[in-house]
């Protein structure tokens, strides 16, 4: 039996994703907020929205902190409670959790949650250094390992334990690039072939260029309210019926197994239990494919297949748009882009479109239940949310 809604999405907004030259993060977030307001004409933002929770990973990119107040100002939400949440790449997944708490507590009837990151004006070495701050400093960063290296360790462990192949990784990349080609807001809107993916230069073996997500600018947001108030604002709300969050060791060297993310498995278990659902009930999912191996591991951690079978799921087309369980219909982090603070609520934006029948060329037929899976760092944080069409 499906669980009781805990909060409802009445609108959502997403900026363009890509290299947005000449724009500050605050301006990019204002673009996402503008779309959310325009989608919901029954909402009076200045009157109705009582709090903002915004995910933002790091001050280093723009030498700018105090993101909550800055974003609220540029979104036209002066004098409200405005708070930044930080959980590495799952910062806006954590913001969504905070917004749900605010609504459930009864303190706020309507809140905005979202995220933003401006990254592309920095060099690749700088971005690599800033992202590495989400790993363990004395035992990982200090020794020079970066996130491509950490996820390459996971990939080689998965290959050794289960026989996962570079070809299977490439299938994830090809699928997500195809989906991104159908998304007008995606950073990378071009299809690639298996041969292109396999022949691209090595970043950290076995991960190649097309196994890695993009350095991207972007912002996303959702407007949440109590389920009983949702129809006041829209005829097509999307209910959140499950929410989970968990953590693990900051460094992967402390973990017993590199082939699974314990935090993601625990967060998924919480969300499924709250929603009263099982993995087979999910119609469409957005998962955290910062690297292609991360998507394969996500299939397994979320229960879409047994451990070790994720590569086959991708290779057999079961996660394609017309597959058994379409995954990353937006193009995922791989092709849509990964402005780290914005990713969690950008995933929810895609599920909102899918469940309200607004995903255009990438629409999943009869999608009623969706899931988002947002991971911070190498899996030290994970959030999972489950959504249901009204």
Residues recognised as catalytic: 89, 338
* Strand-pair partners of 52: 82, 112
Q: Which residue has the tokens 């998965």?
A: 158
Stated length of the chain: 390
Cα distance between residue 370 and residue 50, in whole Å: 27
Nearest to 13 by CA among 93, 120, 112, 82: 112
Q: Which residues of 166-204 are buried (b: 16+ CB within 10 A; e: fewer)?
A: bebbbbbbbbbbbbbbbbebbbbbeebeeebbbebeebb
On whether the CB atoms of residues 217 and 230 are closer than 8 A, the answer is no
Nearest to 349 by CA among 358, 337, 340, 338: 358
Cα distance between residue 288 and residue 374, in whole Å: 5
Q: Which residues of 273-292 are buried (b: 16+ CB within 10 A; e: fewer)?
A: ebbebeeeebbbbbbbbbbb
Query: Strand pairing of 51-55 and 110-117?
Result: parallel
Q: What angle do CA 46, 35, 319 make, to 5 degrees?
A: 130
Tokens read off for 278: 């099982």
């Amino acid at each position: 039996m499906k669980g009781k809604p805990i909060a409802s999405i009445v609108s959502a907004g997403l900026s363009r994703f890509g290299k947005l030259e000449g724009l500050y993060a605050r301006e990019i977030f204002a673009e996402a907020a503008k779309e959310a307001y325009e989608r919901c004409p029954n909402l009076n933002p200045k009157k109705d929205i009582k709090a903002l929770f915004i995910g933002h990973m790091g001050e280093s990119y723009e030498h700018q902190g105090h993101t909550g107040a800055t974003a609220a100002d540029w979104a036209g939400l002066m004098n409200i409670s405005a708070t930044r949440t930080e959980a590495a790449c799952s910062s806006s997944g954590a913001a969504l959790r905070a917004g749900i708490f605010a609504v459930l507590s009864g303190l706020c009837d309507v809140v905005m949650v979202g995220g933003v990151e401006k990254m592309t004006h920095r060099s690749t070495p700088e971005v690599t250094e800033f992202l590495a701050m989400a790993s363990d400093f004395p035992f990982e960063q200090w020794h020079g390992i970066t996130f491509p290296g950490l996820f390459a360790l996971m990939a080689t462990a998965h290959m050794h334990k289960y026989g996962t192949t570079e070809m299977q990784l490439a299938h994830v990349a090809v699928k997500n690039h195809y989906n991104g080609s159908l998304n007008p807001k995606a950073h990378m809107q071009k299809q690639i072939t298996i041969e292109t993916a396999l022949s691209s230069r090595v970043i950290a073996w076995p991960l190649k260029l097309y196994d890695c997500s993009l350095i991207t600018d972007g912002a996303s947001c959702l407007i949440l309210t109590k389920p009983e108030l949702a129809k006041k604002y829209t005829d097509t709300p999307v209910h959140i019926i499950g929410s989970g969050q968990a953590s693990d060791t900051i460094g992967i060297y402390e973990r017993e197994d590199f082939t699974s993310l314990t935090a993601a498995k625990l967060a998924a278990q919480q969300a499924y239990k709250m929603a009263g659902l099982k993995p087979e009930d999910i119609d469409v999912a957005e998962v955290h494919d910062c690297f292609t191996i991360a998507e394969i591991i996500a299939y397994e951690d979320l229960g879409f297949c047994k451990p070790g079978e994720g590569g086959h799921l991708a290779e057999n087309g079961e996660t394609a748009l017309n597959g058994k369980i379409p995954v990353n219909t937006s193009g995922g982090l791989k092709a849509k882009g990964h402005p780290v603070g914005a990713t969690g609520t950008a995933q929810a934006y895609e599920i909102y479109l899918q469940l309200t029948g607004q995903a255009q060329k990438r629409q999943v037929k009869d999608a009623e239940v969706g899931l988002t899976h947002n991971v911070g760092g190498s899996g030290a944080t994970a959030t999972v949310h489950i959504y249901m069409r009204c």
